[in-house]
Amino acid sequence: MIYQLFFKKPNVYSQPLAKLEKGKLVTVYKCKKEWCKILVKNNKVWIKKKFLWGNF
């Protein structure tokens, strides 16, 4: 399996909260230059935009 970390805040120095499995569906709330805020299991977290695929 391939995983990506997601974070509490939009930077790599923030606390990593968990791993996101490749192919998992998420809701995208907003995106900044390199980061998107997503909903995963009722938690709003940040992930690097380059790891997302789709229209956002």
**Angstrom distance (rounded) from CA 27 to CA 15:** 21
Contact (Cβ atoms closer than 8 angstroms) between residue 30 and residue 37: yes
pLDDT value at residue 18: 86
* 31 band by pLDDT with thresholds 50, 70 and 90: very high
Domain segments of the chain: what residues? 3-51
| Digit-coded pLDDT (tens) for 38-47 | 998 888 999 9
Residue 48 reports pLDDT greater than 60:
yes
Mean pLDDT, the chain, rounded, equals 88
pLDDT band, residue 14 (cuts 50/70/90): very high
Q: Rounded CA gap, 24 and 3, in Å?
A: 10
pTM: 0.81
